Each structure stands twice: as C-alpha cells, then as structure tokens.
Amino acid sequence: MRPCVVLLFAVSLLTLCEAQGINVTPVFVLKGRDLLLKIDADLPEGILFVEWTFNKTVILVRFLLSGKQNVHEDFTGRLEFPEKNSVTLKNLQEADSGVYAAEVVTETPTGDKQLAEYKVTVQGPVSPVELIVDRVDSNSSESCDLHVTCRTHNSHINSTFRCVDRVCSQEGGERSEVTTSGASLQVYLLNSTIICNHSNQVHKTQDIDTAEHICSSNAPLFHSGWIIGITLIVVGIVVLFVFPYYRRRRIISDSRQIINNTVYEDLQEVTSARPQNENSTYSLVGLPAGSTQPESIYAMAKKPDRSSND
C-alpha cells in the first residue's frame, strides 16, 4: 500500500506543478462588448486538435488539423475566428462570466496539455452618482467645514472636508465602500477638488465640485469685508449722486424764490405809482394854499363880494 500512496502523491505533485506553470489571466469585460481569446504559447509537436472549453465542461470550439472548426450548438453565431486557434466571444453577458481555457491534444502518451486560461468577468455599467452638500459651517470665505454625501441609487457615503486659507483636507482620509452590486463607491479630495466616484473594473461615473467654490458660494453675506465694501459703495453713491441732486434742487429753489421776489417788488412799484396818476387832478384842485395855480383857479371861480355891489 505504501508504494501506491507514494505514487499517487508524486502524480498529484506533478499535476500541481504543471497547473502552477499556467498563468491564469483575469479579464474584465463590459456587458455587450466582445473579447478575443488567444494562445500565446508555442504548440507542441504531434498535435491532433486544439479546443477551447468553458468552465472545464463545455467545449466551445474544436480546431482540427484540416482547418475546420466544430462549434458547440449553444455558441453558434456568437464566435468568430480572426486568428489561427484563437476565438472572439461576441456580445458578452453576465452569464458568460467564467473560466475559458485552451487545451491541445497530442499523439504523445502525455495526452492533453493546457496552453492558456482566462478568468473572465462580465460587468454592466454602474449607476450615476451624485455629490450632495449637506451643510456648510463657515464664518468667512477663507475658512469653512463642508459636510457632503456621495450617493448612488443603493448606497451612500458621508464625509467632512475642512478648508482654511484655500488649503483643504478630508477628515479621516478617503472614504469608500463596496455596493450591493459589487462596485466601489468613493469620496475623496484631489487638488482641492471633491470627487464622488462610483466604479467597477470596466465602467465609472463621477460627480465633482471644488471645495473653494462651495465655501465661497456658501460664505456668510455680512462679514467684516462685506461690511467695509458695502459701506464704501454707499458713500460713493451718496457723493456721486445724492449730494449733486440735492444741490441742484437747492439752486433751482433759490432761483425760483429770487424770481418770485422780483415780480412781487415790480408789482408793488406799479401799484404804488398808479394812485398818484389817477388823483393828479384832485391834487391840483384840492391842494392847500401854497400852490399858485390851484389858488388862481379857485379865485376865478369865487363869487363877487356883495358889499362892493352895494
């Protein structure tokens, strides 16, 4: 029994060494794309045929020495043969994920020999992602704390960023997690840019924003710098527009007052002069003694003295 055990152990060890000599190539393919499987190793002498298998049970195609290909009925119309002993898988779906191996069958006693092996993973595109600013704690545009959420349809990550004098950092470093679909959801900082990333090995979506932009757009409106700036603007408006406006109004008002006073004085002069002209005749007749002409007129109109006639 011992020689048999030793022999089985030796065969198993030899098989393991041969298996370790084949490099398994991992391949990730986007759903709906094509994949070319090639044999890079040299073919041994005395081959009978080369075949590609799927998950070591299904023979996809067998290449005969005559050049003819025998294709499995389930893969008819889905395989192409651009090169000798190579195969292109068309329109891959998730169900096509698995191990594809190329083997050669020879006339030698050793029999089959594996020449290539690919572990294929077919993945669909990831869903869109959104970077949401939950809250901004800020006293000025130079300093703020950003609380953000990186969200996709079935998962999310929260993170906090701090910016001081345009230098930003992420508390706790990069945040990431694996979603239920096997994709990776990440939120991290790159050169003051916040990146929300959703990706797998074949596809990714991103939403980004700059930390400086978020801080400045959410900074308090009335801090010291704003107050000084607004004050200077108001003073400038008063100096340039308000003072000249009221000055012009005062000049116009003074001019109107002068015009009104002048008209009033002219009317007074005309009114005071008019009675003297109208009463000039009365004045000549009724003036008291001392004026020669009125007295002469009055004398001529006086009756003669009766005593003289008598």
Asked if residues 205 and 199 have their Cβ atoms less than 8 Å apart, the reply is yes
Assess whether 103 and 84 both reside in one domain: yes
Residue 193 resides in a domain:
yes
Please report, for the domain that includes residue 46, its CATH number.
2.60.40.10
Assess whether 195 and 109 both reside in one domain: no
Six-digit token string for 271: 């009114």
**For a pLDDT cut of 70, what percent of the chain falls above it?**
66
Assess whether 115 and 65 both reside in one domain: yes
Apex 203 CA angle, 201 and 206, nearest 5: 115
pTM of the model as a whole: 0.59
Q: What digits encode the pLDDT tens for the residues 211-223?
A: 877 777 665 544 4
Assess whether 149 and 106 both reside in one domain: no
Least confident stretch, 137-151, 168-182, 248-262: 248-262
Q: How far is CA 71 from the centre of its chain?
A: 52
Domain stops at, among 62, 92, 123 = 123
Helix (H) or strand (E) holding 271: helix 243-278
Q: What digits encode the pLDDT tens for the residues 70-98?
A: 999 989 999 999 988 999 999 999 999 99
Assess whether 86 and 183 both reside in one domain: no
Mean pLDDT for 263-278 is 50
| Per-residue pLDDT at 199 | 96
Assess whether 153 and 189 both reside in one domain: yes
Expressed as residue numbers, the domain containing 229 is 222-248
Residue 107 resides in a domain:
yes
Assess whether 204 and 243 both reside in one domain: no
Task: Report whether pLDDT(295) > 60.
Answer: no
Q: Which of the listed ranges 31-35, 64-68, 180-184 does the model predict with the highest average pLDDT?
A: 31-35
Assess whether 113 and 64 both reside in one domain: yes
| Per-residue pLDDT at 217 | 67
Assess whether 33 and 64 both reside in one domain: yes
**Band of pLDDT at residue 265, cut at 50, 70 and 90:** low
Asked if residues 108 and 46 have their Cβ atoms less than 8 Å apart, the reply is yes
Residue 143 resides in a domain:
yes
Task: Report whether pLDDT(270) > 90.
Answer: no
In the chain, how many domains are there? 3
| Per-residue pLDDT at 229 | 66
Assess whether 22 and 116 both reside in one domain: yes
Residue 299 resides in a domain:
no
DSSP string, 241-264: IIHHHHHHHHHHHHHHHHHHHHHH
Assess whether 153 and 106 both reside in one domain: no
**Band of pLDDT at residue 106, cut at 50, 70 and 90:** confident
Domain stops at, among 197, 217, 237 = 217
Long-range own/partner contacts, residues 210-215 (CB < 8 A, 24 or more apart): 211/146, 211/161, 211/163, 211/168, 212/163, 212/166, 212/168, 214/133, 214/136, 214/144, 214/146, 215/136, 215/138, 215/141, 215/143, 215/144, 215/146, 215/163
Q: What are phi and psi of 26, to 5 degrees?
A: -75, 135
Domain stops at, among 123, 142, 172 = 123
Task: Tell me which amino acid residue 87 is.
Answer: V
Residue 151 resides in a domain:
yes
Residue 76 resides in a domain:
yes
Residue 103 resides in a domain:
yes
Q: What digits encode the pLDDT tens for the residues 172-204?
A: 999 999 998 889 999 999 988 999 999 999 999
Asked if residues 197 and 186 have their Cβ atoms less than 8 Å apart, the reply is yes
| Per-residue pLDDT at 282 | 41
DSSP state of 218: T
Assess whether 28 and 113 both reside in one domain: yes
260, 266, 267, 273: CA torsion to nearest 10? 170
Residue 167 resides in a domain:
yes
Task: Report whether pLDDT(105) > 70.
Answer: yes
Apex 65 CA angle, 64 and 67, nearest 5: 70
**Band of pLDDT at residue 51, cut at 50, 70 and 90:** very high
